[in-house]
């Protein structure tokens, strides 16, 4: 089972290559761990999925009724920026320029494990999306985990 956690600071080289941290690589599923899917996140970040995890999401999105306008909009916007990437022998991959622009990535990236996927953030932008008030975090945990 895929289980990504923690935060990892990474550098991007001039070609937009990023080295996947060994702790993340170790969590990739058995089989062909070199093939990953990356897409635009709902926030200004990128989402990195092992292929097996992305296929689960893809099956839900593709199963939506195409005759419904909202479903088509979701399918179009969710799937349009999806890119399959492969790790090289050093565990690196190239981020497409359009995705780097979307996530405001330049020289540094912060990889954040969120269970079945990894978010790729500009470290400064990421700080703006964190919950600063421990009380607010406690309320969210109570609302969603205490059922």
Compute the distance between CA of residue 64 and CA of residue 44 in angstroms, rounded to an integer: 25
Residue 71 forms part of a structural domain: yes
Q: Please report which helix (H) or strand (E) contains residue 84, including its range.
A: strand 83-86
Question: What is the extent of the structural domain holding 133?
Answer: 7-145
Exposed / middle / buried, residue 117 (Cβ in 10 Å: 0-12, 13-18, 19+): buried
Q: How many domains does the chain have?
A: 1
Write down the pLDDT at residue 33. 54
Could you tell me the CA-to-CA distances from 34 to 1, 24, 28, 142, 147 in Å, in that order? 16, 12, 8, 38, 38
Residue 123 forms part of a structural domain: yes
Residue 1 forms part of a structural domain: no
Write down the pLDDT at residue 70. 97
pLDDT in tens, the chain (147 residues): 678 999 999 999 999 999 999 999 988 887 655 789 999 999 999 999 999 999 999 999 999 999 999 999 999 999 998 999 989 888 899 999 999 999 999 999 999 999 999 999 999 999 999 999 989 999 999 999 986
Q: What is the CATH number of the domain that holds 97?
A: 3.40.1550.20
Residue 126 forms part of a structural domain: yes
Residue 127 forms part of a structural domain: yes
Exposed / middle / buried, residue 46 (Cβ in 10 Å: 0-12, 13-18, 19+): buried
pTM: 0.92
Residue 2 forms part of a structural domain: no
Write down the pLDDT at residue 98. 95
Write down the pLDDT at residue 89. 84
């Amino acid at each position: 089972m895929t289980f990504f956690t923690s935060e990892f600071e990474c550098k991007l080289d001039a070609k937009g290559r990023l080295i996947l941290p060994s702790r993340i690589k170790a969590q990739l599923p058995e089989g062909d761990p070199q093939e990953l899917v990356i897409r635009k996140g709902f926030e200004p970040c990128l989402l990195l999925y092992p292929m097996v995890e992305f296929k689960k999401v893809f099956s839900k999105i593709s199963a939506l009724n195409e005759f419904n306008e909202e479903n088509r909009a979701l399918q179009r916007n969710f799937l349009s920026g999806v890119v399959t990437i492969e790790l090289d022998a050093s565990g690196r991959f190239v981020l497409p320029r359009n995705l780097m622009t979307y996530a405001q990535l330049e020289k540094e990236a912060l990889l954040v494990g969120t269970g079945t996927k990894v978010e790729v953030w500009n470290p400064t932008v990421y700080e703006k999306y964190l919950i600063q008030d421990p009380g607010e975090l406690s309320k969210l945990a109570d609302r969603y985990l205490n059922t």
